[in-house]
Amino acid sequence: MEKWSLMTLTVLLALTVRWAVSLGSYSGAGKPPMYGDYEAQRHWQEITYNLPIRQWYFNTSDNNLQYWGLDYPPLTAYHSFVCAYIAKLINPDWVALHTSRGYESQPHKLFMRTTAVFVADLLVYIPAVILYCFSLKETSAKKKVGAAGQTGRDSAGVLRCLLAPVRHRRGTNHASTQKTLSH
């Protein structure tokens, strides 16, 4: 039971830090023509909501790949699609094809941060990190006699993995997570 309490506190701490960081500004805020990573995420929602799946990854008159083309795997695209569907219900301007480029507002920023930090992290990223850490522990326990006292180390590893996206830019998240998990 102590292990789960420590793990829960670790996850809550990581979410709190990530949420606090997400309330700040972002690269490219108010800077046309690309507007930064926030616009990339918003634009992916625009593309996945308004275009057929077969056009998501191809350059067309409605999908200029030079302007934040969707370059992540399909799971990310489907996540963008689900978020875009919800965004359209809240405010259709957020995902309007072509006219929403560079859209920035506090309500939309809150929506974007909520769907990224809480929805995506709670449903995909955090469970994956926890399962991976537990699988490492079981593998390690088979190699060692007496794996007692590992709880703190496991939680520290989970916390480092969960905070990796806060410390690093998008392109190095996976590498830093792999490095953290391998130690």
pLDDT tens by residue, 60-110: 999 999 999 999 999 899 999 999 999 999 999 999 999 999 999 999 999
Amino acid letter, residue 169: R
Alpha-carbon span 79 to 120, nearest angstrom: 8
pLDDT tens by residue, 11-42: 888 888 888 888 888 889 999 999 999 999 99
Alpha-carbon span 6 to 101, nearest angstrom: 43
Q: Which pLDDT score, from 0 to 100, does residue 122 have?
A: 84
Per-residue buried b or exposed e for 91-109, using 16+ beta carbons within 10 Å of the residue's own CB: eeebbeeeebbebeeeebb
**Assessment of whether the complete model's pTM goes beyond 0.85:** no
Amino acid letter, residue 56: W
User: Distances in Å between the alpha carbon of 21 and those of 39, 82, 98?
Assistant: 18, 24, 30
Q: Going along the chain, which residue ranges are E strands?
A: none
